[in-house]
């Protein structure tokens, strides 16, 4: 007479059995779970199946590796972002004082010095702020950094617009910024204002000639060139500080005016 299994099921054979209570794999011939002691065939089935448990266990190492990979990518990207910041537009890096733009005293770090904190631009006068921005934009324009020019141009234009009673030099600066940012109407307006006050002013004449060329008015540009050449020697003899500061631009404009077309 064959006795029945008191647990309501046969013992696992061939190692292909699982505990209904805890899901542990049972060895061949086992009548009780070696983990929780539940007789084979008894206990409430688990909501998760052994296959699901095995799947989660196999996914876990891949999940850890994926998270580690993400962390590595984030670290590398962060370093690259910090290194590239300011290289395309030069906005963040060049917003700090530099020796070329702001002078050695304002940029002690340029030569490894240990001076005090950089000057706060809010403490500068409107004229000083406008001049700093003009110098910065001209340097970027000379270096071909068009993105940097475009980045700082709105600030520079606004700074010059807010000047009360701008000098001839400041009007010239405003016109030059307008020239390199392709705003011929502004450049023309500044040149006209300069020449209305002093018709032979060399800065006004060269700015007017450039503004005329921007709009394709070659005849007007040539007329301003001739006026520049005629006034060149007498005006330089006055030794105006504005002429000394922009002598290279005046000489270049005179050379262009003499060049046969």
Give CA 175 to chain center in angstroms: 26
Strand partners, 26: 17
From-to residues of CATH 1.25.40.10 in the chain? 124-258
pLDDT value at residue 3: 45
d(CA 26, CA 40): 9
pLDDT tens per residue across all 261 residues of the chain: 444 444 444 444 444 477 766 766 767 766 667 667 667 665 544 444 444 445 555 566 666 666 666 666 655 554 444 333 334 444 434 443 444 444 444 433 333 444 444 446 678 899 999 999 999 999 999 999 999 999 999 999 999 999 999 999 999 999 999 999 999 999 999 999 999 999 999 999 999 999 999 999 999 999 999 999 999 999 999 999 999 999 999 999 999 999 886
Tokens 């007498």 found at: 234
State how far the Cα of 116 lies from the Cα of 108, in Å rounded to an integer: 8
3-state helix, strand, coil in the chain (%, to 5): 65, 0, 35
Which pLDDT score is estimated for 41?
A: 62
| Cβ atoms within 10 Å of 198's Cβ, excluding its own | 15
d(Cα 3, Cα 126) in Å, to the nearest integer?
Answer: 105
Give the pair of three-digit tokens for residue 171: 């009007």
Which CATH number, 3.40.50.2300, 3.30.110.60, 1.25.40.10, 2.60.40.10, labels domain 124-258?
1.25.40.10
- Report yes or no: 12 and 29 within 8 Å, Cβ to Cβ: yes
DSSP state of 46: P
pTM of the complete model beyond 0.85: no
Give the per-residue pLDDT at 34: 67
Instruction: Quote the radius of gyration of the chain (alpha carbons, Å).
Output: 40
Return the pLDDT at 126: 92
Q: How far is CA 159 from CA 73, 103, 154, 166, in A?
A: 42, 20, 8, 11
């Amino acid at each position: 007479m064959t006795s029945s299994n008191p647990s309501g099921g046969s013992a696992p054979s061939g190692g292909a059995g699982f505990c209904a209570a805890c899901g542990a794999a049972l060895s061949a011939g086992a009548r009780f779970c070696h983990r929780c002691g539940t007789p084979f065939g008894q206990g409430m089935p688990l909501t998760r199946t052994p296959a699901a448990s095995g799947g989660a266990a196999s996914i876990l190492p891949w999940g850890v590796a994926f998270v580690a990979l993400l962390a590595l990518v984030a670290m590398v990207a962060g370093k690259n972002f910090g290194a590239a910041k300011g290289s395309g537009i030069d906005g963040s890096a060049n917003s700090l004082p530099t020796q070329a733009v702001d002078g050695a005293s304002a940029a002690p770090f340029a030569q490894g010095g240990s001076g005090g904190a950089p000057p706060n631009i809010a403490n500068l006068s409107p004229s000083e702020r406008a001049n700093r921005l003009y110098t910065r934009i001209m340097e970027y324009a000379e270096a071909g950094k068009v993105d940097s020019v475009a980045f700082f141009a709105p600030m520079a234009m606004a700074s010059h617009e807010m000047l009360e009673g701008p000098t001839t030099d400041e009007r010239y600066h405003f016109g030059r910024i307008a020239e390199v940012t392709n705003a011929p109407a502004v450049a023309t307006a500044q040149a006209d204002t300069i020449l209305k006050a002093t018709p032979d002013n060399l800065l006004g004449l060269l700015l007017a000639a450039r503004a005329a060329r921007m709009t394709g008015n070659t005849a007007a540009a040539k007329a301003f060139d001739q006026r520049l050449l005629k006034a060149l020697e007498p005006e330089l003899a006055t030794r105006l500080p504005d002429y000394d500061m922009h002598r290279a631009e005046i000489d270049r404009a005179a050379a262009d005016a003499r060049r046969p077309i």
